[in-house]
Structure 1
Amino acid sequence: MPETVTVDLQDGMEEAIAQVLKKSARADIAIAGYQVTVNPQGLATVDFRLSPSSPRHFASLSSCEKFALFGSVRQTLMSNRQWQIQEVRFTEQGADLVL
């Protein structure tokens, strides 16, 4: 369900993603961190890092689990017009995640 949250103007993108991850957090997949970069053409790349002790990896998620996690992050980034994001790409330590 869409939800409006207030985030800091300077770090808003990272805070918004943190909110999404917190709401869709799963105990069996431990995201240790992430980095967001946006190129001038509006392509946002979200690079995740899993904890080495994570019981599961992104590849083991069901299609429903992937849709919930990655779809929520994608929708959050593309819904804010100020960020001018046209497309979202997901990677894990620089390697493309196949969704």
Structure 2
Amino acid sequence: MVRKAFKMKIYEGQAAEYEKRHNELWPEMAEMIHEHGGSNYSIFLDKDTNILYGYIELEDEEKWAKSADTAINRKWWDFMANIMETNPDNSPVAIDLQPVFHLD
């Protein structure tokens, strides 16, 4: 199991919309995450900076990387692009965070 953390950024005034969209996560998106080995997925918001902090546990990073090329993932990126910082392909600008401590 691989623990992965990353940060992203939403646009000013979009916190409620971001949360709403994730509370209504499409079932096929949740299925894709699980099918590609993702579990225990959480996203946290720092309201002062509009920075999102994500955490996910992965079976395998190579398997997870393939999720980016699924049709449902591309559709989700397009759906979210108007409320957060994205790359030219509408993928979120995501910066991996370096692990420095873990306690079970």
The TM-score normalised by the length of structure 2 is 0.42
